[in-house]
Structure 1
Amino acid sequence: MLNPQWLKSFATLAEVSSFTATAERLGITQAAVSQHIRHLEQQLGPLILRSKRPLELTPAGRALLDYCQQVDRAQHHLALRLSEGDVTCGEVSLISPGSIGLRLYPQLLDLQQHHPDLTIRHRFAPDNEVMDAVLLNRFEMGLMTQKPDDKRLVAQKFTEEPLELVVPAGTAATKWEDLEALGFIDHPDGQAMATRLLSRRFPGNPGVRNLPQRGFSNQISLILEPVARGLGFTVLPRFARMAFHLQDGIQVIEAGNALVDSIWLIHRAEWPLSARAQQALRWLEAKM
């Protein structure tokens, strides 16, 4: 491993192009600077052309300077990650299911606009991937639609989200035959969600699997596109419906008693959330 002090002397020399100025900036002797460069050259070969004015780097010298800059960036990034004193810089990482993610990601970007030195890293994933990502420390926080039963995790209720029956705007859906006429727009959780919700609105119905299927999409932001075009109906969590860009093309049909799911915030139990994560949570809770 290369001595950090030697690297600092070399990087400063490459910047100021003078042994004397390098020694003055670092508060060491010129002989010490020369010794540091000599140690590096013994390991890496010639780094500078001393006969040139200003000093010129060899190809090996340019490669070493690039390495020094990478080290500086890595040290800066590490300091940001470990720092608890400043919540306005560093990374906020969150992994969540699609619907709640559509609701929260724009809010996180608003927070980043207030504090541009923050980095927002968000990923959409189903519950099982959310739990694994947090357990493996790939993300500091996760959101799940089911409360996990794992002692390695802390789980607390974050918010609630109802399921909604969504039909094309201006469409009546007061009886099961209306849904049969429309047809179902399915998605990865569509059958399960529709079964849960429609059993309340239409007790004793023949079952969602007996409805004509008019389409399928695994992209949550696109599931309502065919609905807005009059091609069918679907059942989605509220936040996914709220994020859809063509609200005038759809409408929500009341489906009897509301079916409301809890959204759970999880993180590793062994250590508390970072100050940045806690700030982000307070910001999000205020926006819900």
Structure 2
Amino acid sequence: MINPQWLRTFATLAELGSFTRTADRLDLTQAAVSQHVQQLERRLGPLLIRRPRHAEVTPAGRALLDYCRELDQAERRLHGRLADDDATHGEISLISPGSVGLALYPVLLALQAEHRGLRVRHRFAPDREVLEAVLDNRYELGLTSVRPDDPRLAAAPFSEEPLELVVPASVRVEGWCDLQRLGFIDHPNGPSMANRLLRQAFPGNPGVRSLPVHGFSNQISLILEPVARGFGFTVIPRYARQAFARPEAIAVVETTSPVVDTLWLIHRSEWPLSACAQLAMRRMRDASRPEPTVAKTKPSRSKAVACKTVRRPR
């Protein structure tokens, strides 16, 4: 690595064109200025043509001046990043479950549109990967449905995310047998989510694994597409349902005992958040997504395990 003092001496000499004035500005002797230039020229070749009244920079010297400017700019960027006093320039990095991510990603893009100095990096991931990514400093902010117990992570409640039973808009669910006729649209978290919600909505039911499976998707934004086409029902977080592009094609079955997960906003606790992250947090908390118009239907109050006691969908 080139000695930074030699570079400062050379850049000042190129600016002033005089060994004497360079020595005065840098509080050095003329001999020290000459020595610094000689050290550089031993490594890089001729940098100056020494004239009686001024020094002229060679092409190699101009290349070195470009290098000095690049170093100066990099140093200013480093100081700016460490000072972190500008919330409108820098990177916003968020890792979250796909459902809430569908709601938040447009919010962050709107923030980037307001401040073009921002860059948004967002990844959808399950809870375990969220925790690991924030701990490893690969993402500054994370959202998870599991409150971490690691002291290296700070966690605060961010929002609540209810699970919803979603069916085709034309279907009325009166009991368990209506779900049997519909069939289940599965997804990676489908069985666990469905069992948690259906246990409350239809007490005594034989479980989601007793239902026929009429489809599967691991893309959070596509899980409701087969439901909208009438191929079956599913259980999905509300944020994912709200982001669906055709709300008129689906219906939410209201339940008397909702199942609600708390989402936790996490970050490393050992150092302060960047100004960009703080701005993003405020915008995400303040953002309110309007509830899309969606049909709602209520299940029968009976346990409705026996199919013969249930009316067919109207």
- The AA in structure 1 aligned to 2:187 is H
1:282 Cα shift?
1.3
Gaps of 5+ in 1: 14-18
Contact 2:48–2:57 (8 Å) recurs in 1 = no
Structure 1 residue aligned with 2:293:
none
- 1:141-152 matches, within 5 Å, as 141-152=141-152
Within the alignment, does 1:272 sit opposite 2:272 as a pair?
Answer: yes
TM-score with structure 2 setting the length: 0.75
1:4 Cα shift?
3.7
Q: CA RMSD in A?
A: 3.2
Output the CA distance in 2 between the equivalents of 1:191 and 1:49.
75
- The AA in structure 2 aligned to 1:276 is C
Contact 1:49–1:56 (8 Å) recurs in 2 = no
Contact 1:80–1:90 (8 Å) recurs in 2 = no
- 1:197-236 matches, within 5 Å, as 197-236=197-236
1:34 Cα shift?
8.7
Output the CA distance in 2 between the equivalents of 1:167 and 1:148.
34
Contact 1:93–1:122 (8 Å) recurs in 2 = yes
- 1:18-37 matches, within 5 Å, as 23=17, 28=22
Structure 1 residue aligned with 2:169:
169
- The AA in structure 1 aligned to 2:263 is I
Aligned residues: 274
Structure 2 residue aligned with 1:259:
259
1:255 Cα shift?
2.5
- The AA in structure 1 aligned to 2:206 is P
CA spacing shift, 1:41–1:251, aligned 2, 3 Å: farther
Residues 157-204 of structure 1, C-alpha deviations (whole Å, 9 max, x = no match): 111111011112222222111111221111111100000001111111
Structure 2 residue aligned with 1:16:
none
Larger Rg belongs to: 2
Residues 11-68 of structure 1, C-alpha deviations (whole Å, 9 max, x = no match): x79xxxxx855759xx847x9999767644533x558898xx996569xx97x78976
Structure 2 residue aligned with 1:114:
114
TM-score with structure 1 setting the length: 0.81
- 1:127-206 matches, within 5 Å, as 127-206=127-206
CA spacing shift, 1:86–1:175, aligned 2, 3 Å: same
1:129 Cα shift?
1.1
SS at match of 1:104: helix
- Shifted more, 191-200 versus 117-126: the winner is 117-126
Contact 1:162–1:259 (8 Å) recurs in 2 = yes
- The AA in structure 1 aligned to 2:188 is P
1:242 Cα shift?
0.9
- Shifted more, 135-144 versus 234-243: the winner is 135-144
Gaps of 5+ in 2: 24-29, 50-55, 289-314
1:248 Cα shift?
2.1
- The AA in structure 1 aligned to 2:173 is A
Output the CA distance in 1 between the equivalents of 2:212 and 2:244.
24
- 1:66-81 matches, within 5 Å, as 71=71, 74-75=74-75, 77-81=77-81
1:106 Cα shift?
0.9
Output the CA distance in 2 between the equivalents of 1:34 and 1:218.
68
1:81 Cα shift?
2.8
Structure 2 residue aligned with 1:241:
241
Output the CA distance in 1 between the equivalents of 2:244 and 2:67.
46
- The sequence identity of aligned pairs, in percent, is 56
Output the CA distance in 2 between the equivalents of 1:274 and 1:173.
49
Structure 1 residue aligned with 2:297:
none
Contact 2:47–2:57 (8 Å) recurs in 1 = no
Contact 1:198–1:255 (8 Å) recurs in 2 = no
- The AA in structure 2 aligned to 1:281 is M
Contact 2:41–2:47 (8 Å) recurs in 1 = no
